[in-house]
């Protein structure tokens, strides 16, 4: 899917996404990444939602977001709440959804000026 009304004046916006890729700033990323309005941290680590660990989420929490979006790949995944309990205990909101939904939600929250971080899993087997 391509986003046609994106304005990157406030930070990094997702320009498009598809099976196994995300478009940011004219570049196509094909590995899981962390995205904030001011940073792209590529090669994040988890290849699937099942690979997600507390250490992966600690890397996100260290960025001090108010809201975290976890994109689980092409398919919805239920994560054990114990995995992200430390974020909730810090007062960080956590939403788990497909990566496509996380891309759309990230753009909305970023455009609103929210302190959002997205951990986006790009599964290439979708």
- Each domain of the chain, given as residue ranges in start order, spans 8-120
pLDDT confidence of residue 81: 93
Q: May I ask the CATH class of domain 8-120?
A: alpha beta
pLDDT confidence of residue 3: 47
pLDDT confidence of residue 1: 52
Q: How many CA atoms lie within 13 A of 28 on its CB side?
A: 8
pLDDT confidence of residue 108: 96
With CA atoms as reference, report the closest residue to 101 among 5, 1, 6, 26.
1
* Ranges of the chain with pLDDT below 50: 2-6
Distance, CA of 99 to CA of 14 (rounded, Å): 12
Q: How many CA atoms lie within 13 A of 1 on its CB side?
A: 11
pLDDT confidence of residue 6: 45
Instruction: Answer whether 120's CB lies under 8 Å from 103's CB.
Output: yes
Instruction: Answer whether 63's CB lies under 8 Å from 117's CB.
Output: yes
């Amino acid at each position: 899917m391509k986003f046609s009304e994106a304005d990157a004046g406030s930070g990094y916006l997702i320009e498009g996404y598809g099976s196994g890729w995300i478009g940011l700033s004219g570049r196509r990323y094909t590995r899981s990444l962390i995205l904030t309005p001011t940073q792209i941290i590529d090669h994040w680590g988890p290849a699937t939602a099942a690979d997600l660990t507390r250490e992966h989420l600690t890397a996100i929490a260290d960025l001090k977001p108010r809201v975290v979006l976890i994109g689980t790949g092409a398919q919805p995944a239920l994560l054990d709440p114990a995995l992200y309990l430390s974020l909730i205990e810090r007062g960080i909101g956590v939403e788990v959804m497909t990566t496509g939904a996380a891309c759309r939600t990230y753009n909305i929250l970023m455009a609103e000026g929210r302190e959002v971080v997205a951990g986006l899993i790009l599964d290439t087997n979708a």
